[in-house]
């Protein structure tokens, strides 16, 4: 039925906030981490449910086992290596709680600051949402060898005394993450390269025997295996233990024939529907059944909801989040659910027109024709309308309406693209 059915909907726009509220609560798990240093961090509030079997103490750095291979050869890791690094990320959960993100030149500074706060404690006598610049610098240098490009971001600001202040205290952990080693290479220079399977589980869905089942390779746990992580690290001795210092930490999407659609380079052209396919090939108006054939996710990855208004399905894959919904129940008996919203929060590759999260405003806005065609309104058939407006003194939006599709891009402090949404204007 596609968009023909979708366009039948009237008087629905006022209700779209229902979808956004539910969707937004599932989306925000942005990007990376590293390890917490007791000397820097102290005892964090541990909101991660404990494993059913205590993981024990990780092996010393010098005991790292690499199986059946030589230097520079990727190998299947031994069971002790798998257990060792699994335990490490459980013991140092603040390195991956809430935000697992790729570290590169495009890393959002919000994530860098967030990681620093998650892995430090406030200095004595200061507020819970305050850190010194030295604390921030030290923890980032320790685990990544980097310093923040700036201390004032979309989530932080500088105090009059020169400290770094978060907007609120961060103690909430909305997801539990587990890293399961599946490939390990001795680089011959004291560093290791590894590939980990990344499991992401909402805290209210954690099973009591979660860790045992993941380590035993239970197929039922694969519903939580959303991405892989490629990492290069060195084990640095610290007292009687060690910590991992990363020179690379990169999110790898699930395997599959996924790619951005062809990129338009003539920026005088209006945005077309053909450009607005997702990394997975999904487009607004597609049915849930059609989408499942492209996503190829286990059934447990789909979250089904319903109310008196419509039936909903939410799914999150590789940093793209999708919202499907039926026609309003009081207006139609059609049981098909149609893709009504695509949200990009974590995906750092190209979205469309060579635009990606973290891009500067001046680089993004020049890729669209601007203005409003005379006599046309946002959302009207065959219209093309762009709008740029600032709000909350430090943030601004760029909206593009292509008739039946609305593209919304939010730029945070320092005018970098924080997230993007593509959704139907017919609901």
Q: Which of 60-74, 76-90, 151-165 has the lowest mean pLDDT?
A: 60-74
Sign of CA dihedral 40, 43, 46, 49: positive
* Chain centre to alpha carbon of residue 86: 21
Q: Give the closest residue to 144 by CA, choosing from 189, 113, 182.
A: 113
pLDDT above 60 (res 72): no
pLDDT above 70 (res 196): yes
Cross-strand bridge partners of residue 409: 398, 420
pLDDT, residue 63, reads 54
Could you read off the pLDDT of 311-355 as tens digits, one per residue? 999 998 888 899 999 999 999 999 999 999 999 987 778 899 999
Could you read off the pLDDT of 166-190 as tens digits, one per residue? 875 555 556 789 999 999 999 999 9
Number of other CB atoms surrounding residue 93 within 10 Å: 22
* Per-residue CA distances from 411 to 27, 304, 319, 349, 390 (Å): 18, 31, 18, 17, 9
**Number of helical H runs and strand E runs in the chain:** 9, 15
CB of 193 closer than 8 Å to CB of 249: no
CB of 346 closer than 8 Å to CB of 319: yes
Measure the N-to-C terminal CA separation of the chain; round to a whole number of Å.
16
Sign of CA dihedral 167, 169, 170, 172: negative
* Per-residue CA distances from 231 to 87, 228, 235, 370 (Å): 17, 10, 12, 42
* Per-residue CA distances from 265 to 293, 354, 355 (Å): 30, 8, 11
Element (H, E) at 396: strand 395-401
Q: For the purposes of burial, counting CB atoms within 10 Å of the CB of 367, is it exposed (0-12), middle (13-18) or buried (19 or more)?
A: middle
Q: For the purposes of burial, counting CB atoms within 10 Å of the CB of 68, is it exposed (0-12), middle (13-18) or buried (19 or more)?
A: exposed
Classify strands 175-186 and 241-253 as parallel, antiparallel or unpaired: unpaired
Element (H, E) at 385: strand 385-391
Could you read off the pLDDT of 111-140 as tens digits, one per residue? 888 899 989 999 888 888 899 999 999 999
Claim: this prediction has a pTM higher than 0.85: no
């Amino acid at each position: 039925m596609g968009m023909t059915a979708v366009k039948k909907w009237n008087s629905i726009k006022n209700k779209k906030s229902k979808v956004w509220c539910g969707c937004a609560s599932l989306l925000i798990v942005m990007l990376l981490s590293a390890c917490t240093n007791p000397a820097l961090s102290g005892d964090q509030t541990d909101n991660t449910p404990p494993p059913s079997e205590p993981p024990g103490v990780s092996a010393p750095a010098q005991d790292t086992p690499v199986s059946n291979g030589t230097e520079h050869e990727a190998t299947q890791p031994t069971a002790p290596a798998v257990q060792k690094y699994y335990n490490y990320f459980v013991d140092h959960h603040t390195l991956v709680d809430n935000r697992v993100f790729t570290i590169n030149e495009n890393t959002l500074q919000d994530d860098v600051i967030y990681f620093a706060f998650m892995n430090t404690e406030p200095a004595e006598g200061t507020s819970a949402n305050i850190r010194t610049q030295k604390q921030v610098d030290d923890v980032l240098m320790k685990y990544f060898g980097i310093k923040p490009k700036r201390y004032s971001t979309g989530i932080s600001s500088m105090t009059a005394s020169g400290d770094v202040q978060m907007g609120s205290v961060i103690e909430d952990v909305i997801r539990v993450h587990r890293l399961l080693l599946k490939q390990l290479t001795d680089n011959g220079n004291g560093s290791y390269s590894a590939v980990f399977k990344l499991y992401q589980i909402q805290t209210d869905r954690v099973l009591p025997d979660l860790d045992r089942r993941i380590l035993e390779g239970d197929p039922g746990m694969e519903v939580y295996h959303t991405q892989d992580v490629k990492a290069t690290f060195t084990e640095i001795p610290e007292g009687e233990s060690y910590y991992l210092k990363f020179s690379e930490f990169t999110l790898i999407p699930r395997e599959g024939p996924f790619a951005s659609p062809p990129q338009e380079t003539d920026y005088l052209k209006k945005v077309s529907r053909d450009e607005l396919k997702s990394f997975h090939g999904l487009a607004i108006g597609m049915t849930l059944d059609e989408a499942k054939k492209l996503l190829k996710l286990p059934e447990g990855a789909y979250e089904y909801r319903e109310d008196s208004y419509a039936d909903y399905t939410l799914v999150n894959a590789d940093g793209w989040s999708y919202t499907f919904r039926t026609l309003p129940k009081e207006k139609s008996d059609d049981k098909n659910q149609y893709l009504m919203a695509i949200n990009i929060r974590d995906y750092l590759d190209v979205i469309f027109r060579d635009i990606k999260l973290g891009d500067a405003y001046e680089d993004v806005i020049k890729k669209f024709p601007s203005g409003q065609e005379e006599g046309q309104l946002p959302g009207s058939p065959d219209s093309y309308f762009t709008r740029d407006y600032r709000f909350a003194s430090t943030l601004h939006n760029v909206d593009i309406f292509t008739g039946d599709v609305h593209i919304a891009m939010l730029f945070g402090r320092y005018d970098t693209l924080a997230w993007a949404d593509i959704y139907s204007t017919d609901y």
